[in-house]
């Protein structure tokens, strides 16, 4: 492996750096985007229980906000539960934008690595081919085996760049899709909560 790295030239260094950063981001996002962390199943039930027991005070709402990204969205609705539906929706949407930004953290970097790694590999190949043809101009074709070896060394960077880019792009798309799925679920939970708040308000007015 070390011989291959050395054969690829100095452009193997930024490609290697990209691979290390990509692996770190993938591991971090796998941990951060776990369903149990983003969308804890117990949160909606907990909110319903607090509502039934008339415990939706500032302390419990703050506890909800700190619990998870879903909790942040639901807490925004509860903070404005005594206001109109449009104000509640606006508060939920504003909080949702901040939550999405946090969920997508580092994904732009991962996408950049996916797009940049093949270009670094291609640049390494071009530089290597220039060296090969420069040698031909100076020394002639010479030994075909050595020429083939030089070309293979020039192609190492392209192979390395693609090896980094393909999994990076795959996980970039996977995490983006996962975030979108979470956002849809949060919107559904928030709409359900808003509907429940409206029903509670109508019952209080009728009483």
- CB within 8 Å of 4: residues ≥ 6 apart: 156
**Average pLDDT value over all residues in the chain:** 84
120 in a structural domain: no
Structural domain containing residue 106: 9-115+165-206
4 in a structural domain: no
Taking the C-alpha atoms of residue 67 and residue 38, their distance in angstroms, rounded to an integer, is 9
- CB within 8 Å of 122: residues ≥ 6 apart: 157, 158, 161
pLDDT at 143: 61
Taking only the tens place, the pLDDT of each residue in 38-65 is 999 888 888 888 877 777 788 888 998 9
Taking only the tens place, the pLDDT of each residue in 6-34 is 666 778 899 999 999 999 999 999 999 99
pLDDT at 133: 76
26 in a structural domain: yes
148 in a structural domain: no
Three-state DSSP class for 83?
Answer: coil
pLDDT at 34: 93
Ordered DSSP codes for 39-56: S-THHHHHHHHHHHTT--
Per-residue pLDDT, averaged over 88-101, amounts to: 88
The answer to whether residues 123 and 7 touch, using CB atoms and an 8 Å cutoff, is no
81 in a structural domain: yes
* DSSP 8-state symbol, 141: S
Q: What is the pLDDT confidence band of residue 102, given thresholds at 50, 70 and 90? A: very high
169 in a structural domain: yes
More confident residue, 200 or 58: 58
Residue 52, classified by CB atoms within 10 Å of its CB into exposed (0-12), middle (13-18) or buried (19+), is: exposed
Provide the domain count of the chain: 1
31 in a structural domain: yes
197 in a structural domain: yes
């Amino acid at each position: 492996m070390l011989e291959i790295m050395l054969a690829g030239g100095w452009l193997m260094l930024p490609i290697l750096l990209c691979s290390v950063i990509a692996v770190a981001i993938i591991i971090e996002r796998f941990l951060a985007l776990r369903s149990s962390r983003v969308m804890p199943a117990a949160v909606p039930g907990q909110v319903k229980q607090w509502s039934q027991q008339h415990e939706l005070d500032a302390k419990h709402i703050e506890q909800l906000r700190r619990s998870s990204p879903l909790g942040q969205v639901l807490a925004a609705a509860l903070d404005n539960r005594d206001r109109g539906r449009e104000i509640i929706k606006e508060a939920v949407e504003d909080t949702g934008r901040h939550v999405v930004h946090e969920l997508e953290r580092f994904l732009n970097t991962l996408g950049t690595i996916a797009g940049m790694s093949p270009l670094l590999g291609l640049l390494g190949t071009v530089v290597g081919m220039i060296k090969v043809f420069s040698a031909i101009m100076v020394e002639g074709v010479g030994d075909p085996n050595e020429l083939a070896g030089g070309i293979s060394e020039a192609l190492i960077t392209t192979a390395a760049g693609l090896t980094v880019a393909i999994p990076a792009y795959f996980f970039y798309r996977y995490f983006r899709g996962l975030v979108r799925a979470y956002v849809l679920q949060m919107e559904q939970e928030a709409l359900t909560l808003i509907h429940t708040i409206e029903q509670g308000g109508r019952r209080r007015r009728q009483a």
